[in-house]
Structure 1
Amino acid sequence: MMPQPTGRLVRKDDGVYLVLDRMFKAPIEQVWTYFSRSPRLAEWLGEYTGSGTTGAVKLRLTADGTEGEWEDVTVLECAAPHRLHADVRESGQSHRMFAHLTEATGLTTVTVGRRLRSLVEEADAGPRWDYYLDRLVAAHDHKPEPDWSSYGPAMRDHYRDLCRELDRVLRSDAAAARSGAAG
Structure 2
Amino acid sequence: MTNAPTGRLEGNDLILSRTFRAGIEDVWASVTEPGRTARWFGQWTGEAGPGRTVKVQLAYEENNPWMEARIDACEPPNRLALSTIDEAGAWHLELLLTAVGGETELRFVHHLTTTEGVGEVGPGWEYYLDNLVAARDGRPLPDFNDYYPSMKAHFESLRGS
Normalising to structure 2: TM-score of the pair?
0.93
Return 5+ residue gaps in structure 2 as ranges: none
After the TM superposition, list the runs of 4 or more consecutive aligned residues in structure 1 that deviate by more than 3 angstroms.
none
Distance in 2, Cα, partners of 1:104 & 1:139: 22
Distance in 2, Cα, partners of 1:65 & 1:33: 26
Distance in 1, Cα, partners of 2:54 & 2:20: 26
Distance in 2, Cα, partners of 1:25 & 1:157: 31
Distance in 2, Cα, partners of 1:129 & 1:25: 21
CA shift, 1:118, in A, is: 2.6
1:125 to 103, 121, 124: 121
The alignment partner of 2:37 has SS state of helix
Question: What is the total number of aligned residue pairs between the two structures?
Answer: 160
The 5-angstrom pairing of residues 27-176 of structure 1 reads 27-53=23-49, 55-64=52-61, 66-68=63-65, 70-91=66-87, 93-163=89-159, 165=160, 168=161
1:74·1:87 contact (CA, 8 Å) conserved in 2?
yes
> Percent of pairs identical after alignment?
34
The alignment partner of 1:112 has SS state of strand
The alignment partner of 2:110 has SS state of strand
Distance in 1, Cα, partners of 2:113 & 2:45: 26
Distance in 1, Cα, partners of 2:61 & 2:134: 15
Distance in 1, Cα, partners of 2:141 & 2:72: 30
Q: Which has the larger radius of gyration?
A: 1
Q: CA RMSD in A?
A: 1.5
2:16 to 16, 20, 30: 20
CA shift, 1:128, in A, is: 0.4
Pick the structure with more helix per residue.
1
Return 5+ residue gaps in structure 1 as ranges: 169-183
Distance in 2, Cα, partners of 1:63 & 1:34: 17
CA deviation string 1:73-131 (max 9, x = no partner):
11110001110011111127211000001111110000001122332233311100110
Distance in 1, Cα, partners of 2:154 & 2:30: 28
